Structure 1
Amino acid sequence: MAHIDYYFATLSPYAYLTGTRLEEIAAKHGASITYKPLDIGALFTRTGGTLPKDRHPSRMAYRAQELPRAAKKAGLPLNLKPAHWPTNAAPSAYAIIAAQQEGGGDLGRLVHSILRASWAEEKDIAEDSVVRDCLEQAGFDAGIADRGLLAGAEQYAANLEEAVNKGVFGAPFYVLDDGTMFWGQDRLDDLDAYLAGDL
């Protein structure tokens, strides 16, 4: 059975635009997923990327056109300039890590609800109440947000180191157990084809 390590950031609009397609593809092919939220700013710094605030205006102008197009193709609502972005991604990432360790709910739903809160619902995913609500919506105990702080912080840092060592340089990024990599929500069709043996 194939396994997918999914590296992403809860601040990434492109991770939001993944929607639930990764989970659908994994289910189709009987693949498992390990969710690995990480600090995207630190990843960019370590691998030669540039934070949006530091990018050339031409790149940001293109991003302003491309994101709404991608959202329309994905059938997802998107606020190009969310009220609470950027924000502290750590609380939401720690909650995802803790939920994955404890189990009891739908992890894919949790990830998507956190991303949706930021990119479509004008919520601040650094706020405890928002994170707790997302946990409950996905069938998890909201108390996970408190219990998983230390372990979440350690795993969050470990995810970054692992990503850098594996050659990950952006988000979303999908790494299969055979070392095959796909970068971006627009490569999900390629991931699907690869798992089917067609690519």
Structure 2
Amino acid sequence: MVLKIEKQLQTTTSASNELAETVRTRGVIRVDAARLSQQAISVLDARLAAAVAPSVSRLEARLAEWETRSASAITKRMVDTSSEVERVVARVEDAVRAAGRAERRVDAMTTRTTWTTVGRLCLALVPFAAVLLVVGGLAFGALQALGVGPLLTWAWTAFELADEWWAKALIGGGTIGGIALSGAVIWKLGLKLADQYRRW
């Protein structure tokens, strides 16, 4: 009976050793990193695609809308530019036609201009030259007699020496007004002289 118990104990011990070895070999967990990362990436890709899909579709819709607006704006600008170019081309064509007409007139005038015509033109300018000389001489003499040169020198010296802005404005305005008034008087006298010369 002792032998039987001993045999049973040996069997139990060997079974227990085998069981312990099996548990030892199965108790070790081995992780395959490549397969784990591949699985995690596929799961993350699916979740990320699902999370980002609405934003991507909104962005695509906005991009499509922007492209449509840009295309319509560019088309409108091109139409406006082409119409403006057509207007400019029409104006250029009108200018070329006018230049052609002027060139033909000049050619016609140069072919008709003779020494007689030049002489007549010079004779027509003689009265204007005479009036200009007379008016210029009278104006220069009158201005010297009236002392306008020293008056203008005095006015601009006073303008430079004035300290207040309103004094400068008054002196400058008065001087320019006097010059304009005397110019108008000389002009009217010149016109009267020209009329008198025509009557002679």
TM-score range, shorter chain: under 0.3
Larger relative contact order, structure 1 or 2 (CA cutoff 8 Å, min sep 6): 1
Structure number with the higher helix fraction is 2
TM-score, length of structure 2 as denominator length: 0.17
Structure number with the higher strand fraction is 1
TM-score, length of structure 1 as denominator length: 0.17
Structure showing greater radius of gyration is 2
